[in-house]
């Protein structure tokens, strides 16, 4: 059996001359830059800051963006790119640290700023050409820096300034090198998308030819050629990533796709029924359902530590999946719904950022356990792109827009011991929250909404009787990227309806709390 091909999921972009490379210097906004570029129908990749010139030339980018980062360029071990990058003739845009690095490399000076800038600032434009074409003379921008460029060589022309940052934007007089001290990619810079558009179109010459429809057609054809007459298995979880992966592969190879759904007893209400309806009636895929509730609950009996819960669930899932996979003849490939953030954060991209931020269940584990070759058709897409692709492939809006669900399922939302009665309480309360948010028309505006069953009981009064029952917490957050999140300001009358319904309809609950923590310092999930 051939070994997993980690590069097989790379996109074959028809508009290859419109590829933008984003060099990551450790910025929390690197993925956000990529999303903003793709929103303008230009394909881009995030790569290591120290990518070789040869690797850059192979990709033939139309432009290069240098991200921000937490370092100071004058530190001995500060991350740097190959200086030859600025002499390739390819337009370069440095953002924050990226601007400081470009100026430092090409003869400028960077120092710790006497007045640091964090947050909104007013930027005065000194030259309305190139980056600032068509923009007003004053902009609201988002700053986040302690260092700044204090001097540039005669080769640079300053383009903008703020009250405390005399050189806020620059361009090189002879090289296609530009710099911005502020962050155009964040929403707090309202006209940032226009600045990026000017860089992509006016400076790089991109025409915005990258489309998800093209991606789908090319990926289907590539999967068809790669898989040949082989058979693929794909694990379905009820989430959008695995569903879109399966839908795309079904269009590529039809009945030679077999899907496995492991019902571990930790799914949301009606999750199994929704998957069955989508993949037996709509796509008519070969769907295998493993009903393993008793197996998982037995494995989790008495366990309260969240990490031990995850470990046991992971082992049980692999065992169930392996057992079912052996019943399917001729399987050569395993499909996973790995997305681009998974690839970047796990360090799995060949030229991706150097640091491994997290280990991810979608980029390891099962292929090695099963000995199958891995296919990851979505590994170049972000979550919002996957949702749009799912709609293009014919998946229902209910499935495509379902809120994210953790791999261990309700186990990490059932704090303390996991039992079937406690899971039923949690499932019923969770369904009420989701249904009320949908009825209020706020489901899509809310990135994630769910209930946590707390490991405590509280005193209450119902009728004339004293109760001592379960307490639940409602968690609703708004976020674009799930790296940071803020709690959702739901209307009080909606929260009141949710609380009243849970207490009245879910037997065993007498108290409802609302989680108003942001991420950071809290996480979205409680465990």
Give me the active site residues, please: 96, 183, 185
| Bridge partner list, 144 | 118
First to last CA, the chain: 38
Q: What share of the chain is helix, strand, coil (3-state, %, to 5)?
A: 35, 25, 40
Task: With H, G, I as helix, E, B as strand and everything else as coil, classify residue 349.
Answer: coil
- Cβ-contact 100, 57 below 8 angstroms: no
CA-CA-CA-CA torsion sign (130, 133, 137, 138): negative
CA distances from 490 to 405, 453, 494 (A): 21, 20, 7
Task: With H, G, I as helix, E, B as strand and everything else as coil, classify residue 168.
Answer: coil
DSSP collapsed to 3 states, 483-520: CCEEECCCCHHHHHHHHHHHHHHCCCEEEEEECCCCEC
- Cβ-contact 276, 291 below 8 angstroms: no
- Cβ-contact 390, 240 below 8 angstroms: yes
- Cβ-contact 145, 96 below 8 angstroms: yes
Give the separation between CA 332 and CA 2, rounded to whole angstroms: 9
Give the separation between CA 249 and CA 245, rounded to whole angstroms: 6
Give the separation between CA 85 and CA 51, rounded to whole angstroms: 10
Q: What angle do CA 134, 140, 142 make, to 5 degrees?
A: 120
User: Which helix (H) or strand (E) segment is 447 a member of?
Assistant: none
Give the separation between CA 237 and CA 320, rounded to whole angstroms: 14
CA distances from 521 to 25, 123, 341, 485, 518 (A): 23, 31, 21, 10, 6
Give the separation between CA 402 and CA 422, rounded to whole angstroms: 23
Radius of gyration of the chain (CA): 26
CB atoms within 10 A of CB 341: 21
């Amino acid at each position: 059996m051939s070994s997993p091909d980690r590069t097989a999921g790379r996109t074959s972009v028809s508009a290859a001359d419109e590829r933008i490379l984003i060099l990551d210097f450790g910025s929390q906004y690197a993925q956000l830059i990529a999303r903003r570029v793709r929103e303008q129908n230009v394909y881009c990749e995030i790569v290591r800051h120290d990518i070789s010139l040869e690797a850059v030339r192979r990709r033939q980018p139309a432009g290069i963006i240098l991200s921000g980062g937490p370092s100071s360029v004058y530190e001995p071990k500060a991350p740097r790119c190959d200086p030859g990058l600025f002499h390739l003739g390819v337009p370069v845009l440095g953002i924050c640290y990226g601007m400081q690095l470009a100026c430092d490399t090409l003869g400028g000076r960077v120092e710790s700023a006497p007045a640091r800038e964090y947050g909104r600032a007013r930027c005065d434009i000194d030259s309305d050409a190139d980056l600032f074409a068509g923009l007003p003379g004053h902009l609201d921008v988002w700053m986040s820096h302690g260092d700044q460029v204090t001097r540039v060589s005669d080769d640079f022309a300053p383009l903008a300034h703020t009250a405390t940052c005399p050189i806020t934007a620059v361009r090189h007089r002879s090289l296609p090198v530009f710099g911005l001290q502020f962050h155009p990619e964040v929403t707090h810079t309202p006209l940032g998308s226009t600045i990026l558009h000017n860089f992509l179109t006016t400076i790089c010459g991109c025409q915005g030819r990258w489309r998800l429809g093209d991606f789908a057609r090319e990926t289907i054809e590539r999967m068809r050629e790669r898989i040949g007459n082989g058979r693929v298995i794909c694990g379905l979880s009820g989430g959008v990533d695995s569903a879109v992966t399966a839908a795309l592969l079904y269009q590529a190879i039809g009945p030679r796709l077999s899907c496995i759904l492991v019902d571990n007893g930790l799914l949301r209400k009606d999750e199994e029924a929704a998957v069955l309806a989508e993949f037996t009636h709509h796509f008519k895929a070969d769907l295998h359902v493993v009903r393993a509730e008793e197996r998982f609950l037995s494995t989790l009996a008495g366990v309260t530590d969240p990490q031990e819960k995850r470990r046991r669930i992971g082992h049980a899932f692999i065992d169930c999946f392996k057992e079912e996979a052996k019943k399917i003849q001729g399987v050569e490939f395993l499909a996973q719904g790995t997305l681009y953030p998974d690839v970047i954060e796990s360090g799995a991209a060949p030229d991706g950022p150097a640091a491994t931020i997290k280990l991810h269940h979608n980029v390891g584990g099962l292929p090695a356990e099963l000995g199958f070759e891995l296919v990851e058709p979505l590994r170049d897409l972000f979550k919002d792109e996957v949702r749009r692709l799912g709609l293009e492939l014919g998946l229902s809006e209910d499935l495509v827009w379902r809120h994210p669900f953790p791999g261990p399922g309700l186990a990490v939302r059932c704090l303390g011991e996991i039992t079937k009665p406690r899971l039923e309480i949690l499932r019923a309360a969770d369904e009420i929250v989701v249904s009320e948010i949908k009825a209020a028309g706020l489901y899509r505006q809310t990135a994630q909404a769910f209930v946590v069953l707390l490991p405590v009981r509280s005193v209450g009064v119902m009728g004339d009787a004293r109760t001592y029952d379960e307490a639940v917490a409602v968690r609703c957050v708004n976020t674009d990227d799930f790296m940071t999140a803020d709690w959702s300001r739901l209307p009080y009358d909606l929260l009141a309806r949710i609380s009243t319904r849970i207490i009245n309809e879910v037997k065993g609950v007498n108290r409802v709390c609302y989680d108003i923590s942001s991420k950071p310092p809290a996480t979205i999930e409680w465990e």
